[in-house]
């Protein structure tokens, strides 16, 4: 009886969808569209929106896995804003972002412009591959190897500096130097990716504008400043936005090379979040840190886009 009642209704839906009218065709197209984007939407819900909602909820609880979560209202946030280690971690992260992103963008752009000018195709391929190779290496492996290289007493970096008469530098144990070591490692590992973005941007610059600039007498620095950089500005915006977001989530290199030390000198926000959640089993507090970091990333990205109206040239 039930199936007999459902059958006509199902038939009506199928007829409505498969109707051979303009409306029906539109419905079929829409349905097909939804079917195509369904995997992305489901992935977004399950792996991004879902965990974000869970993190938001968890930030109001005290939970250590073993015992049921206990609602603590805003306690995690009040602890966060009075915890000096959180401010240290944010300061370190911002310093690392500034140091790393500035170096990344300048070096990657310079390399992209140089490689683009190479007339020899094999040489161009060689440099593209060489610069990109470190991106393919495991962050952990890179950090361990460079950790040995940066060792004050046994590392090869200080050995060669010593040959130049430069005294030993405590790359990983001096609070004033350690961020530079971490930053240099990160720049080396991520340079290839930013380089490829810039190379793509440089390769697609309109040749007629560049040639016109040349005819008008714009060469060298003048051509770079007044023609190339404005034309590249959308690429620069994209590269800086993605690099800043990535670097605000700094983790691998300092975690493996220094474990955040000495003291908290190289501890980043994501390290602090990880250590609180998974080390100290303070999942609520870790979630609160994650949420504040998310807000900061959102704010920084928003500011970048707002400021981009003044300097990014779309045409």
**Residues in touch with other proteins (CB under 8 A):** 64-66, 147-148, 151-154, 170, 172-175, 256, 258-265, 275, 278-281, 283
Cβ proximity to other proteins: between 100 and 181 the closer is 181
Nearer to other proteins by C-beta: 169 or 245?
A: 169
Query: In this complex, which beta carbon is closest to other proteins, that of residue 154 or of residue 221?
Result: 154
What does the angle CA 272 – CA 246 – CA 62 come to, to the nearest 5 degrees?
30
| 220 alpha-carbon distance from chain centroid | 32
Nearest CB to other proteins, comparing residues 181 and 186: 181
Q: How far is the CB of 296 from other proteins (least distance, A)?
A: 24
Distance CA 296, CA 299 (A): 5
Q: Please report, to the nearest 10 degrees, the dihedral formed by the alpha carbons of residues 151, 155, 160, 164 taken in order.
A: 40
Q: Which is nearer to other proteins, 65 or 306 (CB)?
A: 65
- Min dist CB 175 to other proteins, Å, is 5
Question: Three-state SS for 155?
Answer: coil
| Min separation Cβ 188 and other proteins, Å | 20
CB of 64 to other proteins, least distance (A): 8
Note the residue count of the chain: 315
Half-sphere exposure of 128 (CA within 13 A, CB side): 17
Neighbours of 176 (CB within 10 A): 8
Smallest separation, CB 281 to other proteins (Å): 6
């Amino acid at each position: 009886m039930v199936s007999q009642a459902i059958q006509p209704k199902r038939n009506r839906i199928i007829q409505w969808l498969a109707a051979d009218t303009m409306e029906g065709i539109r419905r079929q197209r829409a349905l097909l569209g939804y079917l195509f984007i369904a995997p992305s939407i489901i992935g977004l819900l399950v792996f991004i929106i879902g965990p974000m909602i869970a993190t938001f909820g968890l930030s109001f609880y005290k939970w250590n896995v073993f015992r049921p979560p206990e609602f603590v209202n805003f306690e995690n946030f009040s602890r966060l804003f009075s915890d000096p280690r959180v401010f240290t971690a944010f300061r370190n992260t911002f310093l690392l972002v500034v140091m790393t992103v500035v170096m990344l963008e300048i070096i990657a752009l310079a390399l992209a412009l140089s490689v683009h000018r190479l007339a020899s195709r094999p040489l161009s391929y060689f440099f593209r591959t060489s610069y990109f190779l470190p991106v393919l290496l495991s962050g952990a492996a890179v950090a361990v190897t460079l950790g040995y290289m940066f060792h004050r007493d046994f590392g090869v970096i200080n050995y060669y500096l010593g040959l130049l008469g430069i005294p030993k530098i405590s790359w990983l144990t001096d609070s004033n130097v350690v961020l530079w070591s971490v930053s240099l490692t990160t720049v080396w590992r991520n340079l290839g990716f930013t380089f490829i973005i810039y190379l793509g941007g440089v390769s697609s610059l309109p040749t007629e504008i560049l040639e016109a600039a040349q005819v008008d007498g714009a060469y060298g620095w003048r051509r770079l400043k007044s023609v190339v950089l404005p034309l590249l500005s959308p690429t620069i915006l994209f590269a800086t936005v993605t690099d800043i977001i990535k670097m605000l989530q700094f983790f691998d290199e300092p975690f493996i090379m220094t474990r955040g030390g000495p003291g908290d000198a190289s501890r980043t926000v994501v390290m602090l979040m990880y250590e609180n959640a998974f080390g100290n089993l303070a999942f609520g507090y870790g979630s609160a840190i994650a949420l504040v970091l998310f807000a900061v990333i959102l704010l920084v990205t928003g500011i970048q886009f707002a400021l981009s109206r003044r300097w990014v040239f779309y045409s």
